[in-house]
Amino acid sequence: MIRSNGARFITVEGVEGVGKTTNIRFITQCLHTAGVSYVLTREPGGTVVAESIRQLLLAKQDENLCELTELLLVFAARAQHIKRVIEPALANGKWVICDRFTDATYAYQGGGRGLSMNTIAQLENLVQGDLRPDVTYILDLPPAIGLKRANQRGELDRFEQEKLEFFDKVRAVYLERAAQEPERCIIIDAQAALATVQYNIGKHLKGLL
Ligand code: T5A
């Protein structure tokens, strides 16, 4: 969607350790250089309340989080994030760069946990109305490589402790979604050297400026 005030909603997705944080830093540097006013945010999180929900989602707990509870918490955080951060920023003409959004819900809760894609779509419509990202960069690599990178960073969160099979399903859903929406979803080979990854993101981003 091209907004009349020029604002764009860009999301970055991929399995654990794929390089989202690293490449989001690069995206914001490009925007800064181009003089674009932006808001950098993340999911789950992005507001005080939504960050509290993030802690609930990522922390390892004695009581297992039910799959449906996990899904509803993700969307509860998103509802707060959209109303408090994303919509106001877009309305003010700012670009929004978001580390993960609803594609992650399809990939993790739909693919990984096996919850119904239809249920996720219903919640998406309820919580987001017609808000959808304009562009989504899907950083893609074999999950084993991403997990190795994530492992090197220290203690693993609740999701990072899942088995490789879980992340294979997550990746498969990301790729399916990219195939369904090729205009919005740009697959970036994240196995390449960082300079190549950034060259490819930068080339696409320039087309948006
Ligand atoms: N979640 C989220 C859901 O289940 N449902 C949802 O709807 C949403 C929104 C959030 C968790 O929540 C789940 C998914 C997640 O499990 P998160 O913090 O967003 O967690 O996600 P993580 O994947 O855990 O983020 P990470 O910080 O682990 O990974 P990044 O940001 O992808 O990776 P990054 O940039 O820190 O890079 C990792 C390492 O690799 C190196 C970097 O220098 C760094 O050391 N690196 C490279 N090395 C070689 N070559 C390259 N090309 C490299 N790129 C980066």
Q: Is residue 30 part of a domain?
A: yes
What is the identity of the amino acid at 47? T
Q: Which of 138, 159, 160, 174 to mutate to test the pocket of ligand 1 (most atoms within 8 A of CB)?
A: 159
**CA-CA distances (angstroms) from residue 126 to 55, 123, 168?**
24, 5, 29
Question: Side chain identity at 73, as an amino acid letter?
Answer: L
Instruction: Starting at the earlier edge strand, list the strands of the sheet with 9-13.
Output: 38-42, 95-99, 9-13, 135-140, 185-189
Residue 32 is which amino acid?
H
Structurally, how many domains does the chain consist of?
1
pLDDT score, position 168: 97
State which residues form the domain around 44.
9-208
CATH number of domain containing 110: 3.40.50.300
CA of 109 to the centre of ligand 1 (A): 17
> Considering the domain boundaries, does residue 73 fall inside one?
yes
Residue 1 lies in a domain: no
Does some domain include residue 104?
Answer: yes
Q: With respect to residue 114, please indicate whether it lies within any of the assigned structural domains.
A: yes
**Alpha-carbon distance 183 to 114, whole Å?**
26
Residue 36 domain flag = yes
User: Which of 15, 22, 67, 82 for mutating ligand 1's site (highest number of atoms within 8 Å of CB)?
Assistant: 22
Give whole-number Cα distances, 104 to 172, 175, 202, in Å. Answer: 12, 12, 23
Give this prediction's pTM: 0.96
135 and 186 in contact (C-beta within 8 Å)? yes
CB-CB contact of 45 with 82 (8 Å): no
List, chain by chain if needed, residues with CB within 6 Å of any ligand 1 atom.
Answer: 14, 16-22, 43-44, 74, 99-100, 104-105, 108-109, 149-150, 159, 190, 194, 197
Q: What is the largest CA-CA distance in the chain?
A: 49
Residues of the chain short of pLDDT 50, as ranges, are none
Is 2 within a domain?
A: no
- What are the φ and ψ backbone dihedral angles of 38, each rounded to 5 degrees? -140, 165
In a domain, 86, yes or no: yes
